[in-house]
Amino acid sequence: MEKLKIPYPIIVEGKYDRLRVLSVCDANVLTTDGFGIFKKQEKLSLFRRLGETAPVIILTDSDGAGKLIRSHLTSAIPKDRLIQLYIPQIKGKEKRKSAPSAEGTLGVEGMERELIYDLLKPFENSEMQERLQENPLSKTDFYIDGLSGGEGSAEKRDALAVSLGLPRAMTANALLAALRILLTYDEYLEKVGRK
């Protein structure tokens, strides 16, 4: 199975869900850290900001916790920017766990790869895909512009993030993924003073 190329950010609950989704596609897959999303305003701000610019895919578990997290996200991201995908409720337990979830159903991490692939397949082609392919913004640019690999890089990333309405303390990779969606390459160059 060839990996899908999904241009939209995909929000899942945890790191194992993220790994499952990344096993079938190349995409910017972000986690809510489970219920951590209720405490981390910075992360919710990032999701909100991404939703202002591009559609956002939400893929949470089909249990009560997943529904609560989904509800919280849908109250923060503009409705017309949401792509809500749902997994079926299948009884079972994930391989890495010693006991099933409270509701006894599999989460995103427990789904067959083919099911996740089929869910995401319709979103493979879009204008955003073309924009991302045309946008050469890379870690090399970050290095040239002092946003990674040097003294004060974290502070410079924070300043750039804040100027775009993004949260502070983003990793270089997270900021790069967000900027490739939010800005064209020329807009990035202007923002960092190279144009």
Can you give the CATH number for the domain in which 24 is found? 3.40.1360.10
Structure confidence by residue, pLDDT tens digits, 63-101: 888 889 998 998 889 888 888 888 887 888 888 887 777
Same domain, 152 and 56: no
How far is the C-alpha of 158 from the C-alpha of 165, rounded, in Å? 10
pLDDT at 183: 85
∠ CA 16-20-24, nearest 5°, is: 160
Q: What is the pLDDT of residue 126?
A: 64
Q: How far apart are CA 89 and CA 58, in angstroms?
A: 16
> Across the strands, what pairs with 30?
11
> For position 146, what pLDDT does the model report?
95
pTM of the model: 0.70
Could you tell me if 105 and 160 lie in one domain? no
Residues 90 and 11 in one domain: yes
Domain that holds residue 173: 135-191
Closest listed residue to residue 133, CA positions, set 184, 172, 176, 175:
184
Helices 172-182 and 127-134: crossing angle in degrees, nearest 10, is: 120
Q: Are residues 87 and 141 in the same domain?
A: no
Residues 93 and 18 in one domain: yes
Mean pLDDT in order along the chain per 10 residues (195 residues): 90 96 95 91 88 90 89 88 84 79 85 92 71 79 94 94 78 82 88 89
Q: How many CB atoms lie within 10 A of CB 52?
A: 12
User: Is residue 85 within a helix (H) or strand (E), and if so which, with residue range?
Assistant: strand 82-86
